Structure 1
């Protein structure tokens, strides 16, 4: 098990970036590896369960553990077969506009393989 933290900064406002996280239908727009999000709700709330479908056909079940709209932070657990990850996201003000942080916990080889996709998605997330 290991931990990797990624950061990205860009011109989008923190409120815009947070909305992109909070509205599940927006995820495929900034995360090119996500084809669709299936869940009972369409917005981030604690306890939300669903699945994410990747463009590669991989499906991962998820549970949102916590959402703090005021602090612009949220945590979820993602599972695909025997693989389990815990991801914590945060958005804050940055001199460029906003910055986002992703801390991933799980098997280190899986995190290392996923990090380039996550880094690309975070960069798209903070763009205008």
Structure 2
């Protein structure tokens, strides 16, 4: 299992960035590969389960492992067929704006293939 960490900095306030994560209906607004999130709840919570639908119509199953709204961190597992990855997200203040990081664990080729899309999403996440 490999590990890849990505990060981005931007002018959006940490609270704004966190709300973009916490409200799953907002994910498509900053993550260009996501078309929709299908789950019972609309706010990130531990144990939340559902599917993430890509713009190509592919659906990946997910479960949220942990959420800390005060520290602005969360971790989830995503599965697409036999491919399984674990993603840990953090948001923190950075100067007048914020910084976000994503650490992914999974098969190296999958992580490297996904990294450019994830990097783009992180940069969009922290923009004002």
CA distance, structure 1, for counterparts of residue 101 and residue 56 of structure 2: 25
Question: 4+ runs of 1 displaced by more than 6 Å?
Answer: none
TM-score with structure 1 length normalisation?
0.99
Quote the offset at 1:58 in angstroms.
Answer: 1.4
How many angstroms apart in 1 are the aligned matches of 2:96 and 2:109? 32
Q: Deviations over 1:44-82 (max 9, x none)?
A: 000000000001221100000000000000000000000
Q: SS state of the match for residue 102, structure 2?
A: strand
Q: Indicate the residue corresponding to 2:103 in structure 1.
A: 103
Unaligned runs of 5+ in 1: none
2:34 aligned residue? 34
Residues 34-113 of structure 1: matches in 2 within 5 Å? 34-113=34-113
CA contact (8 A) 1:9 1:96 kept: no
Structure 2 SS opposite 1:70: coil
In the alignment of these two chains, the number of paired residues is 128
What is the TM-score normalised by the length of structure 2?
A: 0.99
Q: State the Cα distance separating 1:115 from its structure 2 match.
A: 0.1
